[in-house]
Amino acid sequence: MPEFRGAAHDARVTSRIGLWLGIAFGLCFVTGLLSHGIQHPPAWFSWPTRPVNLFRINQGVHVISGIVSIPLLVAKLWTVYPKLFEKPAIRSLPHALERISILALLAAAFFQLATGLFNVAQNYPWGFYFVTAHYAVAWIAVGALLLHIAVKLPVIRESLSTPVGLQQEPAAGLSRRAFLRSTGLAAGAAALATAGATVPGLQGVSFLGWRSTRGPQGLPVNRTATAAGVGRITDTWRLEVTGPGGSRRLSLAELTALPQTTAELPIACVEGWSQSATWTGVRIADLIGSVGAGPEATVRVESLEQGGAYRVSELPAAHARDPLTLLALRLNGEELDLDHGYPCRIIAPSRPGVLQTKWVGRLVVTG
């Protein structure tokens, strides 16, 4: 059986790293719930349109806190791992429940962090739907974490109230303070190495920050036209707009002739990257207003995609009436590239990239 030999195998160290890990897990859980609610909103849920970077901030915190959790989890396991092999394995019913909660917590935590990393890399070597599984296991992880904290609360309170530098006997390896500093530096380095995917000012130093400016017109693309089954758009294409006052069919030339609005808005991807760009297009509020929609109207947006979970999206009333929600025709002063949604796409403030529907073919006022 492994033995405690290093100074880091101490409840004072474990409790402090556990506190940091709990904060990181908490941030990751709350921002993940918000992200899930925005993409799959229940009837009671609403998400504001301002500030325009709000979803970008939420998703950035979610990914960065998840990345930071990895070195913290490894460090915490290092401080306690000999206890996992103690004999007898089960001493009482409360002890059995504690061991089960730890097993559930470790399994759920590793599942969440591993699948989250694969999602960031857009690599899915499994057969289940990532969003549903990640959301469900998050509740298991948080439930097991709360149970673990409740069981260990007396030890945590005592450990956090005792100075970490108080050395009672000589011990091998790094001192407790040195181990905590090393863990903090590792967590900070992990955050700095990846934060540039979300924080523009850190792009130059975040060497693991993915998808900075790659893609046509200087903007990354997650789903290309080929992957979406969208071919060349011909001159026969028309945008259909349907509302309580009737329907309109508009050619690209007719859309271009309408009053245009230009705004700088971010594309914020649920995989973690985000980037601002200048978009020009027609206000959605003006388009649906021309078919009789009121200020509380909601809109179903249908893409020319042949399939996919986000072929259809819903614009809540707050976004539909927002003056910065556009049917974008141009990106950074140029006609949209086909991979960016030519002939037109949705761009709205404070929305996930998967809901900024590309290759729009139809707008339907639904409420």
Tell me if 329 sits within 8 A of 335, measured CB to CB.
Answer: yes
User: How far, in Å, CA of 81 to CA of 84, rounded?
Assistant: 5
Query: Considering only CA atoms, which of 189, 184, 211, 221 is closest in space to residue 13?
Result: 184
- Name which residue leads in pLDDT, 297 or 121: 297
Asked if residue 322 has pLDDT above 80, the reply is yes
User: How far, in Å, CA of 265 to CA of 278, rounded?
Assistant: 6
User: How far, in Å, CA of 183 to CA of 164, rounded?
Assistant: 14
pLDDT at 4: 59
pLDDT at 91: 84
pLDDT tens digits, one per residue of 91-110: 888 788 888 888 999 999 99
Q: Cβ contacts of residue 219 below 8 Å, gap of 6+?
A: 213, 267, 275, 277, 331, 332, 340
User: How far, in Å, CA of 354 to CA of 277, rounded?
Assistant: 16
If you average pLDDT over each of 80-94, 121-135, 244-258, which comes out highest?
244-258
Tell me if 202 sits within 8 A of 209, measured CB to CB.
Answer: yes
What values do phi and psi take at 276, rounded to 5? -90, 150
What values do phi and psi take at 312, rounded to 5? -120, 135
Asked if residue 21 has pLDDT above 60, the reply is yes
pLDDT at 170: 57
SS3 341: coil
Q: Cβ contacts of residue 58 below 8 Å, gap of 6+?
A: 31, 34, 35
pLDDT at 3: 59
Asked if residue 86 has pLDDT above 70, the reply is yes
pLDDT at 210: 62
pLDDT at 308: 84
pLDDT tens digits, one per residue of 187-241: 999 888 888 777 777 777 766 666 555 788 888 898 999 999 998 889 999 999 9
For residue 18, what is the DSSP state?
Answer: H
Share of the chain above pLDDT 70, in %: 94
pLDDT at 176: 85
Binning pLDDT at 50, 70 and 90, where does residue 177 land?
confident
pLDDT at 171: 61
pLDDT at 164: 78
Tell me if 295 sits within 8 A of 318, measured CB to CB.
Answer: no
Q: What is the average pLDDT value for the chain, to the nearest integer?
A: 90
> Is the Cα torsion angle 220, 348, 258, 288 positive or negative in sign?
positive
pLDDT at 283: 98
pLDDT at 48: 96
User: How far, in Å, CA of 363 to CA of 241, rounded?
Assistant: 5
Residue 230: left (phi > 0), alpha (psi -120 to 50), or beta? Answer: beta
Tell me if 17 sits within 8 A of 72, measured CB to CB.
Answer: yes
Query: Considering only CA atoms, which of 274, 277, 273, 282 is closest in space to residue 265?
Result: 277
Residue 207: left (phi > 0), alpha (psi -120 to 50), or beta? Answer: alpha
List % helix, strand, coil for the chain (3-state, nearest 5). 45, 15, 40
What is the value of pTM for the model shown?
A: 0.89
User: How far, in Å, CA of 35 to CA of 361, rounded?
Assistant: 26
User: How far, in Å, CA of 28 to CA of 112, rounded?
Assistant: 10
**Tokens 């979406």 appear where?**
228
